[in-house]
């Protein structure tokens, strides 16, 4: 009888011990699950923050690009104003001289907009003379270049060129684009770092 009671107490002790073990393991499992969910929540929060930052950055870059594009369009519209001004013939002459110096060929064809053909034809002799004088002064050699205005109206420069000229030589194998649009684009790209620094200073 005493032995039976002893076994009963032992069994009850084992049961309580096993119950405590199960409860402890259950607590650990709950804690592990909580920590895992908390970690997942933190990761998702980081991903969400990163996505939000990325979206903000993209919006900021888009706004910057829009502003720079609008500045370029505004500058382009001002080029059109220049092309309609009284100083435009003198500007065309200088652009032709610069093109001749750059292209360094004796037979050159000058392209321009259809509406500029008369002006270019008028200033071309003075431009060639200025070029010859400059080269003779520089090298001591007097050149006799043959420079003509393009006679094929289908090859006239498009209106979007905003004026200016394009000089070609050797059947257009050599090209000097001195249109207002190309010069504006050149200045735009050269000044881009400064423009960005002025418009979008680093915080």
Over residues 109-154, the pLDDT tens digits come to 999 999 999 999 999 999 999 999 999 998 888 899 999 999 999 9
- Examine the domain organization and report whether 100 and 112 are in the same domain: yes
User: Per-residue pLDDT for 63 more than 80?
Assistant: no
Whole-number pLDDT of residue 189: 76
Interatomic CA distance for residues 183 and 158, integer angstroms: 15
- Examine the domain organization and report whether 163 and 105 are in the same domain: yes
Interatomic CA distance for residues 161 and 76, integer angstroms: 9
Domain boundary among 84, 115, 142: 84
DSSP string over 58-95: HHHHHHHHHHHHHHHHHHHHHHHHHHTSTTHHHHHHHH
Domain boundary among 42, 61, 84: 84
User: Per-residue pLDDT for 2 more than 60?
Assistant: no
Question: Which carries the bigger pLDDT value, residue 26 or residue 85?
Answer: 85
Question: Which carries the bigger pLDDT value, residue 15 or residue 170?
Answer: 170
Whole-number pLDDT of residue 41: 82
- DSSP three-state, residue 30: helix
Enumerate the β-bridge partners of residue 166. 111, 177
Contact 167, 110 (CB under 8 A): yes
- Examine the domain organization and report whether 156 and 126 are in the same domain: yes
- Examine the domain organization and report whether 6 and 97 are in the same domain: no
User: What residues contact residue 3 under an 8 Å CB cut-off, 6+ apart?
Assistant: none
Question: Does 196 fall in a domain?
Answer: no
- Examine the domain organization and report whether 177 and 92 are in the same domain: yes
Whole-number pLDDT of residue 64: 67
Whole-number pLDDT of residue 136: 92
**Mean pLDDT of the 31-44 span:** 80
- Examine the domain organization and report whether 138 and 155 are in the same domain: yes
- Residue-wise pLDDT tens digits, 150-199: 999 999 998 878 899 999 999 889 999 999 888 888 877 777 777 677 66
Contact 100, 147 (CB under 8 A): yes
Q: Domain with 131 in it: what CATH number?
A: 3.30.2320.30
- Parent domain of 48: 1-84
Question: Does 200 fall in a domain?
Answer: no
Domain boundary among 84, 118, 144: 84
**What domain count does the chain have?**
2
User: Per-residue pLDDT for 15 more than 80?
Assistant: no
DSSP string over 120-186: HHHHHHHHHHHHHHHHHHHHS-----EEEE---GGGSBPGGG-SEEEEEETTTTEEEEEEHHHHHHH
Whole-number pLDDT of residue 161: 80
- Examine the domain organization and report whether 64 and 3 are in the same domain: yes
Question: Does 64 fall in a domain?
Answer: yes
| Banded pLDDT at 16 (limits 50, 70, 90) | confident
Question: Does 197 fall in a domain?
Answer: no
| Banded pLDDT at 7 (limits 50, 70, 90) | low
Whole-number pLDDT of residue 75: 64
- Examine the domain organization and report whether 80 and 97 are in the same domain: no
Average confidence score pLDDT of the chain: 81
Question: Which carries the bigger pLDDT value, residue 41 or residue 83?
Answer: 41
Cα-to-chain-centroid distance, residue 101:
30
- Examine the domain organization and report whether 99 and 39 are in the same domain: no
Question: Does 148 fall in a domain?
Answer: yes
User: Per-residue pLDDT for 85 more than 70?
Assistant: yes
């Amino acid at each position: 009888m005493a032995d039976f009671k002893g076994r009963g107490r032992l069994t009850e002790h084992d049961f309580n011990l096993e119950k405590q073990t199960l409860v402890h393991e259950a607590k650990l499992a709950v804690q592990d699950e909580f920590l895992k969910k908390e970690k997942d929540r933190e990761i998702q929060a980081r991903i969400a923050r990163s996505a939000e930052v990325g979206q903000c950055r993209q919006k900021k870059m888009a706004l910057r690009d829009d502003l720079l594009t609008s500045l370029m369009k505004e500058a382009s519209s001002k080029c059109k104003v220049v092309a309609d001004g009284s100083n435009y013939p003198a500007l065309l002459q200088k652009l032709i001289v610069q093109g001749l110096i750059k292209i360094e060929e004796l037979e050159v064809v000058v392209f321009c907009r259809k509406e500029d053909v008369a002006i270019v034809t008028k200033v071309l002799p003075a431009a060639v003379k200025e070029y010859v004088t400059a080269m003779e002064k520089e090298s001591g050699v007097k050149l006799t270049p043959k420079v003509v205005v393009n006679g094929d109206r289908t090859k006239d420069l498009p209106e979007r060129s905003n004026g200016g000229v394009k000089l070609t030589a050797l059947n257009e194998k050599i090209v000097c684009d001195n249109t207002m649009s190309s010069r504006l684009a050149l200045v735009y790209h050269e000044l881009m770092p400064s423009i960005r620094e002025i418009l979008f200073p680093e915080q």
